[in-house]
Amino acid sequence: MDNQGATADPQLQQFIEIESQKQRFQQLVHQMTEVCWEKCMDKPGPKLDSKTEVCFVNCVERFIDTSQFILNRLEQTQRSRGTFSETMTD
């Protein structure tokens, strides 16, 4: 019985990680939608005019660029802290 729990545990962890990633992605899409809607949508209508469409495209692209920039910066910070920690322990 313990062996079954040990083999299922990595699968469960992987499942939880995948579901967490899905949730983070959905939160990001929701946040992006909210920000861009507030910024670009003057008055809802049956069709988007070209100005509104361009605003949405630019807003989404900037949101993605900014998110990627922040992730890269956090990754660099973690790496530099790891390198700094390693040199401190030497």
Contacts of 28 (CB under 8 A, 6+ apart): 67
Q: Annotate 21-42 with b (16+ C-beta within 10 A) or e (fewer).
A: eeeeeeeeeeebeeebeeebee
Structure-token match 């900037």, residue found: 62
pLDDT at 81: 79
* Per-residue confidence (pLDDT) for residue 16, from 0 to 100: 92
Nearest-angstrom CA–CA distance, 62 and 89? 40
Judge if pTM exceeds 0.75.
no
Q: What pLDDT, in 10s, does the model give residues 23-76?
A: 988 998 899 999 999 999 988 888 889 999 999 999 999 988 998 999 889 888
Kindly tell me the number of DSSP H helices and DSSP E strands found in the chain.
Answer: 2, 0
